[in-house]
Each structure stands twice: as structure tokens, then as C-alpha cells.
């Protein structure tokens, strides 16, 4: 699954997430890299939709993580306010990197040494003109 897709609006970003979800299974670690406001959480909403999650998916920025139930569990971690893997370990979130059950989606994985390299799927998002985004989905 090495693809580059142009998303012109949030609906298209969610559709990319749904497509990614079709390839997810227990133990999968997904890292999403992109600037603030690029659509990382919107992409995660699409992944949740593809995993048949019915709960409202919101950014875990202040909680660090949220868990949702669907076809397989979805663990959503926002590492923006995290400085290291040790910090995630202190609150028990390292157990999801990678998870034994379900899949983990990490926003801002570059803030944790080695996490991007450990990912099964890496998604990078770049801004383009007029609100569009270039989304690259790869298996490192």
C-alpha cells in the first residue's frame, strides 16, 4: 500500500482513512505525520469509520489517548504534548505501541524517538494550494 492521494476536502480525507482501515488488523501501528491543522484527526475519523466504530471520534490532545470499539479496537494517541516514549510508559500507553489487540493510530509520532520507524503504516500529509492536501500512505 504505497500510494499518494490528493485530498481536496475533509470528506476525501475521511475516505482515505476508510481505505486504510480495510488493511488493518490486530497489532498494526499507524503513524500520521503532518503539520498542525493538516487533517490528522479527520483521517483518523475515516479509519474509525472503516473499522465500524460508531462513537464520535475526537482529538485526544488533552487526554493523550482514546479507545474506540469497532471491528477491532482502535487506540488513538496524540503525542503532540509528549517528549518521549518514557513519558508514554509512565501512563501505560506504551502497551499500544504496537498493540496486542486492535490497531493504534498515533498523531505526531515524530515526537517519540523510533516510533515512525517502528510503524507498520506511515501516513504523511502536506499542504497544497487552496486547502488541498497531499497524502502519502506507505509501509516503511
Q: Note the pLDDT of residue 65.
A: 83
Instruction: Specify the number of domains making up the chain.
Output: 1
Q: For the segment 55-105, what is each residue's pLDDT rounded down to a tens digit? A: 888 876 666 788 899 999 999 988 888 877 777 777 777 777 778 899 999
Residue 91 is predicted with a pLDDT of: 73
Q: Give the C-alpha separation, 13 to 45, whole Å.
A: 9
Q: What is the pLDDT of residue 33?
A: 96
- The residue ranking higher by pLDDT, 121 or 92, is 121
User: How much is the pLDDT for 117?
Assistant: 84
CATH of the domain at 65: 3.40.50.300
Q: What's the pTM value of the predicted model, to 2 decimals?
A: 0.90
Query: Which residues constitute the domain of residue 124?
Result: 3-138
Amino acid at each position: 500500500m504505497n500510494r499518494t492521494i490528493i485530498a481536496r476536502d475533509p470528506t476525501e480525507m475521511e475516505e482515505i482513512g476508510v481505505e486504510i482501515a480495510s488493511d488493518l488488523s490486530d497489532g498494526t501501528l499507524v503513524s500520521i505525520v503532518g503539520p498542525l491543522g493538516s487533517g490528522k484527526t479527520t483521517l483518523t475519523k475515516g479509519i474509525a469509520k472503516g473499522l465500524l466504530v460508531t462513537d464520535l471520534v475526537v482529538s485526544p490532545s488533552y487526554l493523550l489517548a482514546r479507545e474506540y470499539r469497532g471491528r477491532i479496537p482502535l487506540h488513538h494517541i496524540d503525542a503532540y504534548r509528549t517528549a518521549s516514549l518514557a513519558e508514554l510508559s509512565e501512563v501505560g500507553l506504551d502497551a499500544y505501541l504496537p498493540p496486542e489487540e486492535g490497531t493504534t493510530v498515533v498523531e505526531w509520532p515524530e515526537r517519540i524517538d523510533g516510533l515512525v520507524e517502528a510503524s507498520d503504516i506511515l501516513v504523511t500529509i502536506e499542504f497544497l494550494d487552496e486547502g488541498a492536501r497531499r497524502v502519502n500512505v506507505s509501509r516503511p
